[in-house]
Structure 1
């Protein structure tokens, strides 16, 4: 257990020093120190977590119990049926409907939008008044 803390502490110290020196060139000392402390703490926690996971994997004396599938009423709600119902008849009906030719009532009729026109008979005084009104608002 002591060696786990020593390794994690060494990793944290290495991260602290590396972050401090790399951050000093771009930041003031207090900002660099805060960032170095945060990186050291995070590396310490990551080191502890990795060692704990490796210890769990490598420990042969405590195997996990085998998982047995539940049977009877206990299995209700615990299994997932990934099969979908057969919808072939509905798909064939949709395809048949799309293949029917359109009737004469639904013939193509183009749109007739109104034409855009501009007013050319505006007086210069009216335009100047409109511009004054817009600039005052």
Structure 2
């Protein structure tokens, strides 16, 4: 897959997530993928995404940097939203969060089969901690 094609595919993926078009995930991910080192079904991956969306109102991913090398993609995103349910072990406080996420993908046959991500959990915790 060429770099321009992979770029368009990844941008379409981010657009689908932000639009909550989970039915489209078969376009982007294999039936089985490795998610942060653990094999999961695409359905389980989508269920995890739905849980995040359910816990964080107006969750949005904004792509800041995208690097493509061969069949690998690296992305730096800024994520925003307001937790309304317990999320990442933290109770909602009514405060919104803005944090950085790093995501890495390995694509095969036009869909990703490996994904790793890392959230700036310290920033999230600081933003949600109520100070007296």
Normalized against structure 2, the TM-score is what?
A: 0.23
Normalized against structure 1, the TM-score is what?
A: 0.22
Larger Rg: 1
Which of the two has greater helix per residue? 1
Which of the two has greater strand per residue? 2
